Amino acid sequence: MLHARLELASPTSTAHCHKLQESMLSSASSFKNYRGILNWCVVMLVLSNARLFLENLLRNGILVDPIQVVSLFLKDPYSWPAACLVIVSNVFILVALYTERKLAMGSISEKVGLLIYIFNLTIILCFPMVVVLKLPSITPVGGAFALGVYTILFLKLYSYKDVNRWCRERTQAKARSPSSPSASSAMQSHVSYPGNLSLRDMYYFVFAPTLCYELNFPRSESIRMGFLLRRLFEMTYFISNVLSIVFQWMVPIIRSSMKPLQEMDYSRMTERLLRLAVPNHLLWLIFFYWFFHSSMNFVAELLRFGDREFYRDWWNSETITFFWQNWNIPVHKWCLRHFYKPLLRRGAGKLLSQSAVFFASAFFHEYLVSVPLRMFRLWAFMGMMAQLPLAWFVARFLRGNYGNAAVWLSLIIGQPIAVLMYVHDYYVTHCQDDPTIAEAL
C-alpha cells in the first residue's frame, strides 16, 4: 500500500501534464457542449425582460383593456361586416366546385373552364378589397382577417384547379392506353377522379391546414384528445400574450415615436426603433408558435390531417433563401408546385423564377397591409423585394454562424422599420386632423 502511494507521488508519473490541444472556445476545438452558456443566455433574457416589464408597469400602468381588444375587430358590436365578408366567400367555393363538375362531365371545354376560373379568382382578390375600402365599419384588424381568408382561398382554389386539370389529363392518357389490372385494383381503396368532386371533399380541403390540393390526403388513425386540449390551451394562452405585448409594450413605444418621426430626429428615431425591436420580435416569435404549431396542429388533429410539417428548422438558417423555404412550409410547397416549377417548365431561368416568386409574395404582403389600412405605401412590398439582394449578399459573403446572425438581424431590425413606417403614415393619413388622437399620441 505504501509502495503504491509512493509510485503515485513519484516525479515520473507527473512529468507530462501537457498535450497538444486547443482552447475550448476556439473554433478549432472539438468541444460542442455549450448548454451552460445557453442556460445563462436564457436567464439573462428573462431577467432583462422582467426589468423592462416592471418598468413598463410602473411608467404606464395596466393598458390592456378587453373593450379595446374587441374594438379592433368591431366598431359596432351588432354589426359584423368582416364576418359577413368571410361567409360570402362560400359563393366562390361553390362556383369552383360547379365548374369542375361541368369540366369532368365534358359539358364545358377547358378554355371555358379556364375563363370561369380566371374570373372567379380575380373576383376573390378584388371583391373583398373593394368592400374593405368602401365600408368604413370594417376595422383594419377585421379587414386584414377577411383579406387573409380570401387570400388563402385564392391559393387553395388555384391548386384545386391545377390538380383536377392534371387528373383529367391523366384520365385522357389512360383512355388512350389500357391500364394494368393490378394498378386499378390497387386504387380501389382511394378516391379517384372524378369521385373527389363532392361538397364534403371540397370543404375538407378548404378547412385543412394546407394550400396544396390532393385527392387523398394522409390521415391519422384517430383524434388524440390530450394533444387537442394542449394545443387549445396554447392557442388561448399565447393569443393573450400577443395582445398584452401589443397594448402594454408596443403601443407606448409607437406613440412616443411619432414626434421623432415627424421631426426627422434620427438619433431618437434609432433609439425608438431599437426599443421596438425587442417586443416586435417577441411578438413575431409567439405568433409563429401560436399559428404554425398550436393552431395548425389543432385543426390538423381535429380533421385527422396527417401531414404536420408546417415548418422546418428555419432558426438554423445560414442564408435568407433557406429561411424563406423553411419557415412557412404550406406557402413554400404551393409556390414550388404551382408557380416556381411551372415557370421552369416553360423555359424561365432559376433567377427569374425566384424573382417572380418573391414578387408575388411581395404583392400579397402589401395587399394584406395596405388595403386594411386604406393607404398605399409599398413598404411591405419593398421590404420583400429587398430580400433578393440581401439573399445574394448573405449567400455570397457570409457563411455559417455569420450567415445565421445576418438572418436573425434582418428579422429583428427589418420588421420594426416597416411597423414604424406604416404606423407613421397611418397617423398622418387618418389621425393627424383628429385633435383627441393627436394629443394622445
Is residue 299 assigned to a domain? Answer: yes
Structure confidence by residue, pLDDT tens digits, 359-416: 999 999 999 999 998 888 888 888 888 889 999 999 888 888 889 999 999 888 888 8
- Looking at the fold, whether 365 and 328 belong to one and the same domain comes out as yes
Amino acid 164: pLDDT: 94
Does residue 240 share a domain with residue 201? no
> What digits encode the pLDDT tens for the residues 166-208?
999 888 887 776 554 444 444 445 888 888 999 999 999 999 9
Q: Do 233 and 331 reside in the same domain of the chain?
A: yes
Q: Residue 433 belongs to what domain range?
A: 224-440
pLDDT of 72 reads 57
Q: Within this chain, do residues 246 and 199 fall inside the same structural domain, yes or no?
A: no
Is the pLDDT higher at 57 or at 115?
Answer: 115
Residue 184 lies in a domain: no
pLDDT at site 436: 44
pLDDT for residue 67: 60
How far is Cα 203 from Cα 280, in angstroms, rounded to an integer? Answer: 35
Could you write out the DSSP letters of every residue in 266-296?
A: HHHHHHHHHHHHHHHHHHHHHHHIIIIIIIH
Whether residue 108 is contained in a domain is answered as: yes
Q: What is the pLDDT of residue 330?
A: 94
Q: Domain for residue 161, yes or no? A: yes
Is residue 379 located within the same domain as residue 255? yes
Residue 217 lies in a domain: no
CA geometry: angle 323, 325, 331, nearest 5 deg: 125
Higher-confidence residue of 38 and 278: namely: 278
Question: Which pLDDT tens digit goes with each residue over 45-84?
Answer: 778 777 777 777 777 776 666 666 666 555 665 568 888 8
In a domain? residue 133: yes
133 and 253 housed in the same domain: no
Residues 379, 268 share a domain: yes
pLDDT digits (tens, 9 = 90+) for 208-223: 999 999 999 999 989 9
- pLDDT, greater one: 23 or 69: 23
Grid coordinates belonging to 94:
361553390
* Average pLDDT of the residues of the chain: 83
Task: For residue range 334-351, list pLDDT tens digits in order.
Answer: 999 999 999 999 988 888
Between CA 38 and CA 44, with CA 41 as vertex, the angle to 5 degrees is 150
Tell me if 346 sits within 8 A of 245, measured CB to CB.
Answer: no
- Which tens digits make up the pLDDT trace of 286-314? 999 999 999 999 999 999 998 999 999 99
Catalytic residue among 18, 365, 424, 430: 365
- How is residue 56 written as a grid cell? 413598463
* Number of domains observed in the structure of the chain: 2
Rank 49-53, 133-137, 159-163 by mean pLDDT and report only the highest. 159-163
* Residue 276 shares a structural domain with residue 387: yes
In terms of pLDDT, which residue wins out, 234 or 3? Answer: 234
Task: List, in sequence order, every residue forming a beta bridge with 305; answer none if it has no partner.
Answer: 219
151 is a domain residue = yes
Give the three-state DSSP class for 151. Answer: helix
Is 365 part of the annotated catalytic residue set? yes
Q: What is the C-alpha separation between 85 and 134, in angstroms, rounded?
A: 13
> Hey, what amino acid is at 100?
E
* Per-residue cell: 379: 413598404
Question: Are 162 and 247 part of one and the same domain?
Answer: no
Q: What is the pLDDT of residue 437?
A: 44
User: End of a domain among 158, 181, 207?
Assistant: 207
Query: Domain check: are 165 and 239 in the same one?
Result: no
CA angle centred on 439, ends 433 and 441, rounded to 5°: 95
CA torsion 395-396-398-399 (nearest 10°) is 60
Burial class from Cβ neighbours inside 10 Å (0-12, 13-18, 19+) for residue 355 reads middle
Asked whether residue 265 falls in the same domain as residue 144, the answer is no
pTM: 0.83
User: Does one domain contain both 256 and 201?
Assistant: no
Share of the chain above pLDDT 70, in %: 85
What is the average pLDDT across 413-420? 82
What pLDDT is attached to residue 219? 92
Does residue 17 lie within any of the structural domains?
A: no
